[in-house]
Structure 1
Amino acid sequence: MSQAREATVPQIHGHCDDRFSAVRTAFEANFRERDELGAAVTVLIGGEPVVDLWGGWADAARSRPWERDTLVNVWSTTKGPTALCAHILADRGLLDLDAPVAAYWPEFAAAGKEAVLVRQLLSHRAGLAGLREPHTLAELYDWDLTTARLAATEPWWEPGTRSGYHALTYGFLVGELVRRITGLLPGEFLQQEVTGPLGIDFTVGLPEKEAGRVAELVVAETDARQQAALFAQMEPLAVATLLNPPTGAAAANTPQWRAAQIPAANGHGTARAVAALYGIFAGRGRSGDRRILSEEAVERVREGQGSCRDLVLGAGIGHDTEIALGLWLSGPEGSYGPNPRAFGHDGAGGSCGLADPEAGLALGYVMNRMGHRISDDPRKTALIEAVYGAL
């Protein structure tokens, strides 16, 4: 390693219990060996922080240090908190996971979807991974338009038979159920019921007053080329899911994206916040002295719906996976550590939230240099391996 390369490794801030020193080592190695730009990682054991580290830069120009309270768009790591909203309603008896979606959203019954169940929305099995007609970014920011088009859309496959990752549509589908039941958009419901009372620094969309704290998302040229090559090989369903409309760092850095409600993809928070939200699952429904979900509800969250080669992401992941009711199970591949019943969610580019109730473990990892991997970014994997190695 050259001295110039060594000089780019930033100072790491925060704290790390001695028992978890390997996590600090892995976090530092992400900067030294895996092209990290700015990032943070938080690990909770039994609800207590044993790792809370941050470092690097909040912008491509390396003019703004990553601070303790730096926010960043975490992409699909947002889906965990969005699923949490639905499970809170189910836990209160307001949402029946085995009821037709149309019981709450009558317009959804169009185009042969009258029998699609709520659990099929939660587990990416509703056949609505993407819209069939062209949909622009400006239209994506219009909640009523996007949900109306989804309600009118014919499924791409027979609902319930296979999973097909609903990259952007997931948040509108689950979120519209939240809105129909509560009158609140999912980000508003999350703030009212969870993040506000618990003081968790996470929002769906970014309030304008917080713009000074948000990190710039960056894509390296090599990652952009590899991602373009991946997209060029996609089947039509994957194109409709991931490229209609095209998103990415350039879009997500705009005020329009940040201000919108996109509950599958534009949650903004710290690693501490991600760990706290996934920590509700790891704590079997408790966060500190507050109960957010019953223990039975947490077990429902990780109720597997069948392992299969995902219709959208299967080729990129390369093996069968299992999506539970809103999150992915770690499974035999150990995507979220060695406990196959641990569960979590990755975000585009590398972010991650993880919950392992058996270990009482929650992890949040956020960053701004977006990698090209569909899942299991090597930075995230190194951190998870270090955490479990310390247990």
Structure 2
Amino acid sequence: MTDTGESTITVHGTVAAGFENVREEFAAVLAADHTEPGGQLAVYHHGRPVVDLWAGEGMAGDSLPAVYSSTKGAAHLVVALLVQDGVIDPDRTVASYWPEFAAEGKGGLTARELISHRAGLIWADGGFTVEELADDRVVAGRLAGQRPYWTPGTEYGYHALVIGALTGEVVRRVTGRSIQEIFEERVRAPYGLDFHLGLPEELEPRYVPIRPGVATPEQAAESAANPIDLDSLMAVAFGFASDPPLDMVALANTRAVRALGPASVGGVGSARGLAGMYAAAISEVDGRAPLLQPGTLAEIGRVRWTGTDVVTAEVDAFAFGFEASRAHYPALGEGAFGHSGAAGSQAYADPANGVAYGYTRRRFALPGGAAPENERLSAAVGEAVAKL
């Protein structure tokens, strides 16, 4: 391992021999970010930590920023484990597990279609407060009787703030326990992961508040020229059409959200925690067998949908609840899966190459979703692995 530093921004942490280029790229992308840069990067290779870096004011290796939708990776890992156990059959209807869900023409939707963002339940009439969004049971209860925004099963549309509550209610009806409880018992605690769906009060001093993004003049001009259409599905799904509009920064910075850890967006963790979770999913770690068996990995990594998302209007690719990561990072192998987060975080597993990757930021990367530097960082990791 090698200690690190950079003249324009101090980079802390270590890299294994052969991964020096990743350290250099991490320093370069943060030095190029003039919006108070700060982030963490962690990488495992075949279950062994090979990159552990951090930089920025107030950011340490064990800092715990909010990771927004990277939380969905943890939630859907729990679902994958229950499918692997034979506890959930993805081709059974949701209503067979959760009878109230059948209201308003949703009775034929399967669990596979639900986790694949095809339910059309992107929001509830009247919207949600931040306090309501913190509680998955409240969200699920409201959505059970909600009329869908499209015929269930016919379209793909990102259920940004509610998918974890929906799949979580299926988990609860089958097991009697929440996604958060199962994640803690089967994933976080056994591996000592610094990634929490429900941040304990005693860890609050390590929380790094998320800061709003800083728009470039070009981004500000684009936003002014093309304001969000409040009648669009995107405005509905992200709470922008609510009164008052949902404040995404305030959402993560609310203690109730961190305490309850809603399975769509409420996770709090370090890059180490994110990468460690995906390493545990695909590799032997500390003498423990991989959480997911080869057949399960093949199922959850298989691309099940590609096209234009009817909510975000973006071209995307999704696997079984996870983003199909190779569509965004071509250096990854077939079957790579993971999930990004609104503030810029990214985390994924690349089983073909034995790589698990985690990245966090303390400030929103605009316009949203995975920060663009993940492309450079992922490419650098791929180059290092290819040379081993």
TM over 0.5: yes
Question: Equivalent residue for 1:97?
Answer: 90
The structure-2 alpha-carbon separation of the partners of 1:282 and 1:235, relative to structure 1 and needing over 3 Å to count, comes to farther
On the 8 A contact 1:329/1:336 being kept in 2, the answer is: no
Q: In structure 1, how many angstroms separate the alpha carbons of the residues matched to 2:55 and 2:136?
A: 36
Q: 1:228 to 1:218 in 2, by over 3 A?
A: farther
Q: Is the aligned partner of 1:325 residue 2:324?
A: no
In the TM superposition, what whole-angstrom CA distance separates every residue of 1:240-282 from its partner, at most 9, and x where no partner exists?
1012561322232122222233111011111111001122344
SS in 1 for 2:39: strand
| Distance in 2 separating the partners of 1:338 and 1:233 | 35
CA contact (8 A) 2:331 2:382 kept: yes
What does 1:120-135 correspond to in 2, within 5 Å? 120-135=113-128
Q: Give the superposition deviation at 1:233.
A: 4.1
TM-score, with structure 2 as normaliser: 0.89
Q: Alignment partner of 2:52: what SS? A: strand
Q: Sort the Cα spacing of 1:336 and 1:124 in 2 relative to 1 into closer, same or farther, 3 A.
A: farther
- SS of residue in 2 equivalent to 1:307: strand
Aligned to 2:143: 150
Residue type at the aligned position of 2:22: V
Match of 2:80 among 84, 87, 109: 87
Residue 328 of structure 1, CA deviation? 1.2
Name the aligned partner's letter for residue 377 of structure 1: A
Residues 237 and 56 of structure 1, relative CA distance in 2, 3 Å threshold? same
With structure 1 as the length reference, what TM-score do the two structures score?
0.88
Q: Structure 1 vs Structure 2: percent identity of aligned residues?
A: 35
Q: Which residue identity is paired with 1:261?
A: G
Alignment correspondent of 1:241: 237
Give the structure 2 partner of residue 69 of structure 1.
62
2-side partners of 1:260 and 1:369: how far apart? 22
Instruction: Say whether 1:202 aligns with 2:195.
Output: yes
CA RMSD between the two structures? 2.3
Partner of 1:263: 263
1:158 match: secondary structure: coil
Shift in alpha-carbon separation, 1:79–1:18, aligned structure 2, 3 A: same
Q: In the aligned structure 2, how far is the partner of 1:116 from the partner of 1:253? A: 34
Unmatched tracts of structure 2, length 5 or more: 1-5
1:127–1:387 Cα change, 3 Å: same
Q: Distance in 2 between the 1:165 and 1:76 partners?
A: 11
Q: Is the 8 A contact 2:346 2:359 kept in 1?
A: yes
Distance in 1 of aligned mates of 2:210 and 2:263:
18
Work out the CA distance in 2 between the residues paired with 1:175 and 1:227: 37
Contact kept? 1:43, 1:363, Cα under 8 Å: yes
Q: Give, in angstroms, the shift of residue 293 of structure 1.
A: 2.2
Alpha-carbon spacing, 1:312–1:215, altered in 2? closer, same or farther (3 Å): same
Residue number in structure 1 paired with 2:167: 174
Amino acid at match of 1:160: G
> May I ask how many residue pairs the two structures share in their alignment?
372
1:359 matched to which residue of 2? 353
Work out the CA distance in 1 between the residues paired with 2:12 and 2:227: 37
Q: What is the alpha-carbon distance in structure 2 between the residues aligned to residue 108 and residue 231 of structure 1? A: 35
